[in-house]
Structure 1
Amino acid sequence: MLSLDHARTILDVVLKTGTEKGFKPLAAVVLDARGAMKAFAAQDGTSLKRGEIARGKADGALAMGLGSRAIAKMAAERPAFVAAATHAVGGSLVPVPGGVLILQGGEVVGAVGVSGDLSDNDEICAVAGIEAAGLKADTGA
């Protein structure tokens, strides 16, 4: 189970990592395995819809059972399928890195979505947060 303490640790470390690395301001969301929001924050200076983009990365990872890096590859190879899947989940699927599954004991317990900098940098922050909480990250690589 993804606890609130896990979610807070993940969120704090995501934002701290971005700041320490000099990334642009980030928005981050932590979802449990059901897709319910456990934690969200947006740093000062994020653009208007960064929270929604972060949520779409995390939602997409949960919906597809894949880190969003794998979904990005799938979108390049099979764009019609990813477009259809995006429609099937109500539009909340953003097929770029930064949506990372959270694993505990081999089971998916949630997902993190991060948006604000380059997608690869968003993913770096998500992984740092998950690992800081003592959990395993699955980026879809």
Structure 2
Amino acid sequence: MAELTLRHARQIIEATFAKGREMGLKPLTVIVVDAGGHVKAFERADDTAPGRFGIAHGKAHGAIMMGAGGRALMKRAEDQAYFIAAVNGVFGGALVPVPGGILIRDSEGAIRGAVGVTGDTSDNDAEAGLAGIEAAGLTGEA
């Protein structure tokens, strides 16, 4: 697979919302970015705060720009807060180092993009996002 397609992005969002409903989660906001960090697709469920876009974007953007999922970034923030603060400055504040930022890998392990999910707990956000990525035939790294 050469790139993350719009079809993949829409499948990921749809399946992430479905998993969220199945889990009984609060309304979710989901963004998919490509390997360059550019927004491929975004949806915010009804009854979610408009600020959720920034949170979802920060989760996905941080994952793709650092080449690590949100869990690894959170660990790094806990161990080296000064480093994450500095990197967040470099990224213009667009880094949210918590679960829910998920790398998207193809069948060969290449990074093709990232997903950012927000709306419930970070761990639940990540679980829903992983299900969305899997439904699109790709592999997630939370």
Normalising by structure 2, we get a TM-score of 0.96
- SS across alignment from 1:47: coil
Across the aligned residues of Structure 1 and Structure 2, the Cα RMSD in angstroms comes to: 0.7
- Unaligned runs of at least 5 residues, structure 2: none
Which one of 132, 136, 140 corresponds to residue 139 of structure 2? Answer: 136
Which one of 118, 121, 124 corresponds to residue 121 of structure 2? Answer: 118
Query: Do residues 127 (structure 1) and 130 (structure 2) align?
Result: yes
Q: Give me the whole-angstrom Cα distance separating, in 2, the residues matched to 1:100 and 1:94.
A: 12
Q: How many residues align?
A: 139
Q: Give me the whole-angstrom Cα distance separating, in 2, the residues matched to 1:76 and 1:4.
A: 35
Look up the equivalent residue of 2:75 and give its one-letter code. Answer: K
Q: Give me the whole-angstrom Cα distance separating, in 1, the residues matched to 2:40 and 2:13.
A: 10
How far off is 1:22 after superposition? 0.7
Identity across the alignment (%):
50
- SS across alignment from 1:52: helix
How far off is 1:48 after superposition? 2.6
Instruction: Report the counterpart of residue 11 of structure 1 in structure 2.
Output: 13
User: How do 1:62-77 residues align onto structure 2 when only pairs under 5 Å count?
Assistant: 62-77=64-79
Which one of 73, 88, 91 corresponds to residue 89 of structure 1? Answer: 91
Instruction: Report the counterpart of residue 111 of structure 2 in structure 1.
Output: 108
Instruction: Report the counterpart of residue 46 of structure 1 in structure 2.
Output: 48
**Which aligned runs of 4 or more in structure 1 are off by greater than 4 angstroms?**
none
- Unaligned runs of at least 5 residues, structure 1: none
